[in-house]
């Protein structure tokens, strides 16, 4: 459709706002259709992070997941960039014209082909153009078609968005910070090297076990009690000095 500086141009000047909104709708429509895989992958990755999922696996598994997520993001971005086409102004005009009775915008772009020298034909043409101008004046912005169910028949985008919403509402990362690392003493590992200790008196004494981390004062225990220490942190970050048992070999810290 070619703009002619006769009737169509001033009509389009008056329709600048609905035309701009229709054009913006076309852009949104094509962005959604081209990049829905990208924001679906982003939602899945964000959900995993917000729920603390990476902290439930080993370092190697986490790095493998990061690599897969990066590859998925890059692939989705490249696919979307190849699919996206920036809409032209003529496409926005055609979208508006398609919902108007008689397609007045297309009619206003036409030129009289026959009877240009015939006064009756000219009068008839002017009357026709006047009717089309009145119809075109009623043009409104056309809503974009954001439905992509034919491209995502299983609703993966909705599942990803629902997961992200739940993660934002109930995820432990936003509420409490990064979760503790997996395994015994995970909270301690997350905050740095630390230890735990227990003393188990001999069974014949009937005395309960003691948790050393809860005791600050000096204690006395029966002979033959079993002392268990568990160290958390980097190897060599903590050491044990004691004088109540025989020499023992160095034991690597639990990591």
Structural domain containing residue 66: 8-136
Does residue 20 fall inside a structural domain? Answer: yes
pLDDT 10s digits, 74-106: 999 999 999 999 999 999 989 998 888 888 888
Please count the structural domains in the chain.
2
Last residue of a domain, which of 70, 103, 136? 136
pLDDT 10s digits, 151-210: 998 999 999 999 999 988 887 655 555 554 444 445 544 555 577 888 899 988 888 888
The residue among 12, 37, 35 whose CA lies nearest residue 23 is: 12
The residue among 74, 47, 67, 50 whose CA lies nearest residue 156 is: 47
Q: How much is the mean pLDDT over the chain? A: 81
What does the alpha-carbon distance between residue 207 and residue 105 come to, in Å, rounded to a whole number? Answer: 95
Q: Looking at residue 88, what is its pLDDT?
A: 93
Q: Which residue has the higher pLDDT, 55 or 15?
A: 15
- pLDDT surpassing 60 at residue 35: yes
For residue 73, count other CB atoms closer than 10 A to its CB: 15
Q: Looking at residue 157, what is its pLDDT?
A: 92
Does residue 164 fall inside a structural domain? Answer: no
Q: How confident is the model at residue 2 (pLDDT cuts 50, 70, 90)?
A: very low
- pLDDT surpassing 90 at residue 33: yes
Q: Looking at residue 53, what is its pLDDT?
A: 84
């Amino acid at each position: 459709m070619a703009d002619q500086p006769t009737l169509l141009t001033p009509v389009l000047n008056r329709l600048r706002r609905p035309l701009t909104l229709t054009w913006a709708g076309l852009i949104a429509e094509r962005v959604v259709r081209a990049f829905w895989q990208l924001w679906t992958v982003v939602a899945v990755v964000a959900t995993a992070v917000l729920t603390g999922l990476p902290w439930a696996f080993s370092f190697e598994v986490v790095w493998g997941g990061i690599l897969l997520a990066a590859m998925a993001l890059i692939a989705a971005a490249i696919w979307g960039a190849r699919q996206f086409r920036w809409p032209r102004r003529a496409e926005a005009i055609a979208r508006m014209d398609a919902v108007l009775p008689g397609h007045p915008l297309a009619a206003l772009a036409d030129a009289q082909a026959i009877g240009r020298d015939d006064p009756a034909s000219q009068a008839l043409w002017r009357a026709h153009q006047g009717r089309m101008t009145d119809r075109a004046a009623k043009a409104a912005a056309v809503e974009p078609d954001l439905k992509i169910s034919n491209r995502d028949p299983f609703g993966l985008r909705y599942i990803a968005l629902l997961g992200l919403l739940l993660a934002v509402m109930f995820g432990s990362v936003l509420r409490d910070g990064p979760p503790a690392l997996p395994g015994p003493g995970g909270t301690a590992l997350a905050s740095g090297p630390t230890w735990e200790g227990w003393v188990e008196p001999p069974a014949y004494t009937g005395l309960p076990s003691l948790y050393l981390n809860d005791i600050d004062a000096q204690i006395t225990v029966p002979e033959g009690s079993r002392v268990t220490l568990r160290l958390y942190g980097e190897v060599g970050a903590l050491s044990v000095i004691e004088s109540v048992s025989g020499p023992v070999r160095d034991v690597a810290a639990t990591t």
